[in-house]
Amino acid sequence: MGKYDALNPQQYQAVCHYEGPLLILAGAGSGKTRVLTHRVAWLIEEKNVNPWNIMAITFTNKAAGEMRDRVEAMLGGALGGVWVATFHSTCVRILRRYIDRIGFENNFTIYDSEDQKSVIKEICKRLQIDTKLYRERFFMAEISAAKDEMLSPVDYALRAQGDQRMQKVAEVYKEYQRQLFDNNALDFDDLICRTVELFQSCPEVLEQYQERFRFIMVDEYQDTNTAQFKLVSLLAAKYRNLCVVGDDDQSIYRFRGANIGNILNFEQFFPDAEVIRLEQNYRSTQNILNAANAVISHNKGRKEKTLWTDNGEGEKIRFRQFMNSFEEAEYVAGIISQKVGAGKWKYGDCAILYRTNAQSRMFEEKFLYANVPYKIVGGVNFYSRKEIKDVIAYLKTIANGKDDLAVRRIINVPKRGIGATTISRVQDYATEHGASFYDALRVAETIPGIGKSVAKLQAFVQMIQVLRTKQEFYKVKSLIEDILEQTGYMKELQAEGTDEALDRMANVDELLNKAALYDEKTENPTLDGFLEEVALVADIDNLEEDADHVVMMTLHSAKGLEFPVVFMVGMEDGVFPSYISISSEDESELEEERRLCYVGITRARTNLFLTSAKQRMVRGEIHYNRVSRFVDDIPEEFMAENERAKIPQKEKKDLPETKAHAAYRQMRENFKTKIMAQQQFEVKKADGLSYNVGDRVRHIKFGNGTVTNIAEGGRDYEVTVNFDRVGVKKMFASFAKLVKTEN
């Protein structure tokens, strides 16, 4: 029994459970993987269970590989037939043998997200659905959510009655499933749904696998959806030797379809289930666990458990509130530099955890200035994110039309119906005539083979020319806002209707914050100056992958990881927890946020820092936030350096909704309706001008000057003025708003 000696009493009890349903509530850092691997070994060695009859299901290939390696090491050889795999790979193997029983051919194709998007695009075209109002990814997300809940197209259509948006989804869902069937194809969600369908319609196939898998173990059970629960329940129905391991307090993936009810209601589904709690933590100090226990205890929908450790009390939790996010980032960078310099920490000991990816920008910039090496985990560096590169490309095109790379990047972003063939012909013309790509666009009507695309190219050029005129007297923030408005960029993200799109919108908002700060702190702000500043902080490609570095990630990405030192930043109501969870009538949304906080706290081994800012910029405007209610959940005795101005919980709840709260809630509502149409670019041409060539005029920014030329274009007048102070400027009349003067 030597290999089991290291187990604590609760772990050993879980390992030695033989028959019947078993729920292992494994708190953070309690050694659940150790329990699972030892249980597999114990069944084989002590109970002589045939390895062929054991199944272990995980969520990732990495987790499956690690479990397989650890069991093999324990047994001193090959697994001998133990089935260790993910949900999806399990279902693929079953369907490859038996899917012909439900009408498909066994050589079915598996569609990835791009394949799905193409199919839905065709369907929308056929059903005459405007994909500017209802994006393809919106339909993909809705259909995936329906399949997670085992809702067929018929079931979905019944639920959709009286809801126009859902009815559109029902139409597309029905056609989508029909087309997949006709193409002998499945998407990833179908892999599980079709396996459940196979088992329900073919009892003899189900019985075969029930005989095969007499002992079933499921890891991370709190992350299962309804379809996965149904699959596992069917497989375990005969022998009922189902062991599930999970932590309801770490259920944070509802947005991906996870159903916390699967673990909370396990004993209802299996009344004779044994429940074992793993509460001894091997990762953190007691003070950190006390904080985690205090926060999560405010949730009503949970299984009672209290984490404890033999690791000692440890350092108390440090909380600091700063005036703004600059000071917050400076403090974090300063503490890390100081401790590393003193030899107490390594950079790699430290993790910065935040609620949304957009929060990384300030820390990235501070770390660069402070020469602190860092790496974004589970995400992309701020200035490398697609939406940021798109907006920057627009700014580069406005500032310098010779940047071919920038122009080509955004000529069809958002989609304008300009195809690859047209772009190729423009490029060929530019190369042949030694001109820039943008200059070629300006004479599109002379390019052979362009055809009907001429009007689209001219509209694009016209838009850029107008924006160029505006850069002379617009601040950078206002110029970006105008780009977003004129192109419909944010509205397209809104129409996409996914959580990913909402994150991308938050990133664009953070770029607006950057621009607002640049406008404010720079004596003579210019577009060129802004682009230079961005280029300096965006040059982060020289970071060494394997170097000692601070890691930065969202709280969601941090699950399953641990670090000696953790900084949880942005601990303010409205940031974490989010505005949407605070303003929601559904209490479960706030409980999900609290579980996310619990996950963040329990990532720390020895040191936990919580920081907040009194002022935080949102879309370029200053908003005032209260300290997060999650900080207030932590009792004073576990805190050091307590500098918070404590707001009683009751007072918090009674305070009226702020402008920021209301704006954010409205944005989410708009986001949910997904019916905002993309505005087309339009310039209203004046009937005539109050001035002529030779007249003296005044401009709000450039002062007085003389009109030297007026060119009548299709949509507006292009006016050339020789200003007394700044020289010759060209501008469109509708935006210049020149006023004739007497002198």
Q: Which residues are catalytic?
A: 32-33, 219-220, 250, 603
In the numeric block, which tokens belong to residue 670?
A: 């708009």
The structure tokens listed for 479 are 């110029």
Please give the Cα distance from 112 to 213 (Å, whole number): 29
Helix spans in 370-488 (H): 386-399, 404-410, 420-433, 437-442, 454-471, 476-487
Q: Which two tokens stand for residue 160?
A: 């959709």
Question: Strand order of the sheet with strand 350-354?
Answer: 374-376, 550-554, 350-354, 563-568, 604-613, 317-322, 639-640
Q: Which residues pair with residue 698 across a beta bridge?
A: 704, 739
Given a contact cutoff of 8 angstroms between Cβ atoms, the answer to whether 733 and 717 are in contact is: yes
82 in helix, strand or coil? Answer: coil
Query: Quick one: CA dihedral 561, 562, 568, 574, positive or negative?
Result: positive
Q: How many angstroms separate the CA atoms of 7 and 471, rounded?
A: 68
**CB-based contacts of 537: which residues, under 8 Å, 6+ apart?**
364, 365, 368, 383
Nearest to 738 by CA among 479, 469, 525: 469
| 707 in Cβ contact with 693 (< 8 Å) | yes
Q: What is the C-alpha separation between 260 and 248, in angstroms, rounded?
A: 7
Q: CA angle at residue 614 from 613 to 616, to 5 degrees?
A: 70
Q: For residue 597, give both structure tokens.
A: 């906080």
Where on the phi/psi map is residue 371: left (φ > 0), alpha (ψ -120 to 50), or beta? Answer: left
In whole angstroms, give the CA distance from residue 40 to residue 310. Answer: 27
CB-neighbour burial class of residue 168 (10 A; exposed 0-12, middle 13-18, buried 19+): buried
Residues in contact with 458: Cβ distance below 8 Å, sequence separation at least 6, in sequence order: 444, 445
Q: Which residues neighbour 62 within 8 Å (Cβ) at sequence distance 6 or greater?
A: none
- Bridge pairing between strands 621-624 and 615-618: antiparallel
- Rounded Cα gap, residues 403 and 438, in angstroms: 8
